[in-house]
Amino acid sequence: MRTPWRLRDYVFAAFMTIGMVIAVFIVGPFAPPGFQLLAWSPLAAIFLTLGMARLQRPGSIALIVLPLAVLLGLLSPLITLYLAVTVIVIEAVLYFLGSYRKRINRLIANVLFFASANLAGLLVLIYFSQGLISRIKDPKRADALTHVIQFINQPGTLILLTILAGVAGAVGWFLGELAIKQLQKAGKMDVDV
């Protein structure tokens, strides 16, 4: 089968995936529980931006994220499915906008990816919390958790947290573009961006 990708593209995409995974290890110990994804977003977005800038063609995000999705499938096939769906949606949107050569398209892809990841994570939390609350014996504790979930479950809160994740993705995009400039100055990014 003929493919537009070259060996260097596959290797670069795999190393950007490694960068995204390393960001999890770096952020994990410092981020408060429940905010890991928000803390991870700007750092992971740096590698996603670098990958898009170097690979440029539609399908770049799929090359970077799908291996990660397969690896995380060892923890839960749900993660694989959800990441695969997110990638398909983003690639479909970017198919109409053009390649990742334009900065604005890289920004849109980052914002879309992290906002949708955060929203899906919150919806999964809300879904599974119903079962957890029903198993809590102490009514006071059940009430406390119910209030937290009710707070998250409000459309306003969901929208606010999703916007925050999108902003985190945008911050990561900005840092990623700074990194691209540094790499270009050092002669390590020989592509026109």
For position 135 contacting another protein by CB under 8 A, the verdict is yes
DSSP 8-21: HHHHHHHHHHHHHH
Q: Closer to another protein at the Cβ: 164 or 189?
A: 189
Distance of alpha carbon 173 from alpha carbon 88, whole angstroms: 20
What's the number of CA atoms in the CB half-sphere (13 Å) around residue 155?
0
* Candidate residues 125, 129, 183, 184; the one interacting with another protein per rule CB under 8 A: 183
In this structure, what is the dihedral angle of CA atoms 40, 42, 48, 49, given to the nearest 10 degrees? -170
Q: Closer to another protein at the Cβ: 3 or 96?
A: 3
Distance of alpha carbon 49 from alpha carbon 146, whole angstroms: 38
| Per-residue contact string for residues 63-92; x = within reach of another protein by CB under 8 A | x--xx--xx--xxx----------------
Centre a 10 Å sphere on the Cβ of residue 116 and count the other Cβ atoms it contains.
Answer: 20
* Candidate residues 91, 119, 175, 184; the one interacting with another protein per rule CB under 8 A: 175
Contact positions vs another protein (CB under 8 A): 1-3, 5, 7-8, 10-19, 21-22, 25-26, 29-30, 43, 46-47, 50, 63, 66-67, 70-71, 74-76, 132, 135-138, 141, 145, 175, 178-179, 182-183, 186, 188-189
